[in-house]
Structures are given as structure tokens and as C-alpha cells.
């Protein structure tokens, strides 16, 4: 099957208009500027959270998203770079190994997460309480296991929203 170049241009024009329109209405004072990559929009809270559950709630109440779930190596590279660009230190993303140490599942979907770019020596389940995941700004945005709820450690949160879910 061949698709005419004109159809492709038209399609991408529609997509740009649609995404741009969405982005404008999406600007939130409580979030860092969002980025749109492929069919996803990503945004990071300015607020910090001790609890992953609270962070996840923030994503859904601000823009209708959920903590970012690593599905592909490309997506991980994108969110690492985005996280690192903010200069923030610790940023929650989705994933927990509360059931079985070292096996990370999405809290939202239960799907097995199998692509990582760990900080050297991680995951170490430090203090035996590190059952959640963060992108660590002190380590180029790479992945580290971190407590889901420990008073002394707070995180921003990187949220993801599938634009296809909006239509």
C-alpha cells in the first residue's frame, strides 16, 4: 500500500494542531513545562511527595495522568533526559517490587517493568525499604530504587498521559 505524501502532510498538520491546542490548555502552574513525545505527554510536579500514593494522586488530579511507566528503551531515554533537565534531585516514576524484591511491576496496570538504566550498584533495596522507583538527578536521571513512603525522603513526580486516551 502506498500513502500519498499529501495525506501524510495533512495528517501531521492535524496532529500538530491538536497537540499544540492541548498543550496550551495543559499548562499548569504547579508543573514544569510538559513535553510531548510520540503519543504521550509528560509533566513533572513542582510539589514534592514523601508518599508514592500521594504522588500518583497528584498526577491524576493534575492533567489526568499517572506516574510514568517505562515501556521501551526509547521512552526511558526521553524521560531520563526530561527529568535531568529540571535539576531536580529525586523524581518518582511508576514501579514497585513490594511483592518480590527485584521484580518491578506497574502499580497501575500490574505490568512487569523490564527496561532499566540503573545507577551503578542499584537496585540495592537500601534499608530493605526501597520498593519504589525514582529518576535520580544526582545521577544523570538514571534509575534507583527508593522508599515509597519514608518521611526523610521526598520526590517530585514525573507523570505520563497517553494522548490517544483523550479522543
Interface with Ca ion includes 130 (CB under 5 A)?
yes
Cell of 57: 494522586
Q: Which of 34, 56, 107, 136 binds ligand NAG (CB under 6 A)?
A: 136
**Count of residues that bind ligand NAG according to CB under 6 A:** 8
Interface with ligand NAG includes 90 (CB under 6 A)?
yes
The tally of CA atoms less than 13 A away on the side-chain side of residue 85 is 13
Interface with Ca ion includes 54 (CB under 5 A)?
no
Concatenated DSSP letters of 25-47: HH--TTBPPPEEETTEEEEEBSS
Which part of the chain contacts ligand NAG (CB under 6 A), choosing from 8-16, 30-38, 72-80, 138-146? Answer: 138-146
* Residue 60 three-state SS: helix
Cell of 157: 513526580
Residues that bind ligand NAG (CB under 6 A): 89-90, 119, 122, 136, 138-139, 144
Amino acid at each position: 500500500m502506498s500513502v500519498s505524501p499529501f495525506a501524510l502532510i495533512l495528517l501531521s498538520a492535524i496532529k500538530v494542531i491538536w497537540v499544540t491546542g492541548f498543550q496550551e490548555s495543559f499548562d499548569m502552574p504547579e508543573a514544569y513545562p510538559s513535553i510531548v513525545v510520540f503519543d504521550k505527554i509528560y509533566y513533572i510536579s513542582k510539589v514534592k511527595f514523601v508518599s508514592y500514593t500521594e504522588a500518583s494522586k497528584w498526577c491524576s488530579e493534575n492533567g489526568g495522568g499517572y506516574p510514568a511507566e517505562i515501556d521501551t528503551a526509547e521512552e526511558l531515554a526521553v524521560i531520563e533526559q526530561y527529568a535531568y533537565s529540571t535539576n531536580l534531585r529525586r523524581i518518582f516514576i511508576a514501579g514497585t517490587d513490594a511483592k518480590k524484591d527485584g521484580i518491578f511491576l506497574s502499580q497501575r496496570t500490574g505490568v512487569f517493568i523490564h527496561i532499566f538504566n540503573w545507577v551503578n550498584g542499584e537496585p540495592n533495596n537500601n534499608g530493605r525499604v526501597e520498593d519504589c522507583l525514582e529518576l535520580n538527578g544526582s545521577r544523570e536521571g538514571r534509575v534507583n530504587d527508593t522508599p515509597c513512603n519514608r518521611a526523610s525522603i521526598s520526590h517530585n513526580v514525573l507523570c505520563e498521559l497517553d494522548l490517544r486516551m483523550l479522543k
